[in-house]
Structure 1
Amino acid sequence: MHTISEQPVRVPPAAQVREERPVCAPGHRLVRWVFPPAAAAVPEVRHLLRDVLRVWRVGPDVIDTLLLAVSELVSNAVTHAAPVTRRVRVAVGLDGVRVRLEVSDDHPFRPQVLVEAGEDAESGRGLFIIGRAVADADGDMCVLPLGLGKTIRVRVPAVA
């Protein structure tokens, strides 16, 4: 069991958790999880993220947006990056004003966010939907290079 602000947060046995509080930024919070690229990671990270955001008193609409985002991003990493990555890394931070969510993997493909899939597409709509939800929450989403892989970052105001 790992605690944040005196309230327990469930930790799955497969995940490694590290909480960091940067010395140079009082009041900032950061939690990181590392999961194997397996389907079981998706519901586990959703539960962990929900618990952390509630402890941090993030607004319920923001929590819903971030849970949608983390579900899709981790699911994408598990589905597409599993053959080339040993771990999926998830980080969530709060600077008092904005919540930052990052999902990283070692797959070299860097998708374009906010590109709508064709109306007949059977897949590929997830990032577009997340991008719209994040934009509706006055946030932003981007894809950043990370070594041979990538990080997809979502930032939204902590209160809707």
Structure 2
Amino acid sequence: MTTQLEALPHHHMLTLPTIPAAVRVARETAEQTLVEWGIGLRHSTVDPALLILSELVANSVRHAAVLSPKITVFYAAGPDCFVFAVHDRHPYQPPLYGAVAGTGSGGLGTVMELVLGLGGTAVVRADPDGKGKSIWITLPL
């Protein structure tokens, strides 16, 4: 599934301090944003998407806070997909698809099982300066 972010009609961005409360705020913001965009919270993709988002934000809080005092969460949606990304300024790029094979951490393994089970995609994109990254998730609606 390939989606051009610019072509999606709905966008939202949230910047938070890299602290544990960021997980709750990112999740609540996603819920509110989805409702505003007309995507019901009972949609079958929403609960797994919120779990994936929570895990990615928690990973940034847990592993990137020392180099990244802030994280940014991007949300976007169109009629057939929900896209979100978590960005931090830590250079480590986790091997997402290796997590499925059991070589990654348990949290990323769960993320990838959910993404693939929903028919979605996940990609890590490095910042141009190599000192940060975003993990992008695209899920069908």
TM-score (norm 2): 0.85
**Equivalent residue for 2:140?**
157
Listed one character per residue, the Cα deviations across residues 31-75 of structure 1 (whole Å, up to 9, x for unaligned) are 000000000111111111111112223352211121011100000
Q: Does 1:138 align with 2:124?
A: no
SS in 2 for 1:89: strand
1:80-91 to 2 correspondences below 5 Å: 80-91=63-74
1:55-74 to 2 correspondences below 5 Å: 55-58=36-39, 60-74=43-57
Q: How many residues align?
A: 133
Richer in helix (by share): 2
Query: Once the 2 structures are TM-superposed, how far is the Cα of residue 118 of structure 1 from its aligned partner?
Result: 8.8
SS in 2 for 1:115: helix
Listed one character per residue, the Cα deviations across residues 99-126 of structure 1 (whole Å, up to 9, x for unaligned) are 111000000000000324898x9x9111
In 1, are the aligned partners of 2:18 and 2:71 still within 8 Å (CA)? Answer: yes
Q: Percent identity?
A: 27
Q: Does 1:45 align with 2:7?
A: no
**Equivalent residue for 2:83?**
100
TM-score (norm 1): 0.75
- Specify every segment of 5 or more residues in structure 1 that has no aligned partner in the other structure, as ranges: 1-21
SS in 2 for 1:107: coil
- Specify every segment of 5 or more residues in structure 2 that has no aligned partner in the other structure, as ranges: none
For residues 114 and 61 of structure 1, the distance between their equivalents in structure 2, rounded to whole angstroms, comes to: 23
Between structure 1 and structure 2, the one with the greater Rg is 1
Q: Residues 117, 93 of structure 1: CA spacing in aligned structure 2 closer, same or farther, 3 A cutoff? A: closer
In 1, are the aligned partners of 2:24 and 2:54 still within 8 Å (CA)? Answer: yes
For residues 31 and 109 of structure 2, the distance between their equivalents in structure 1, rounded to whole angstroms, comes to: 22
For residues 116 and 97 of structure 1, the distance between their equivalents in structure 2, rounded to whole angstroms, comes to: 27
Q: Residues 107, 54 of structure 1: CA spacing in aligned structure 2 closer, same or farther, 3 A cutoff? A: same
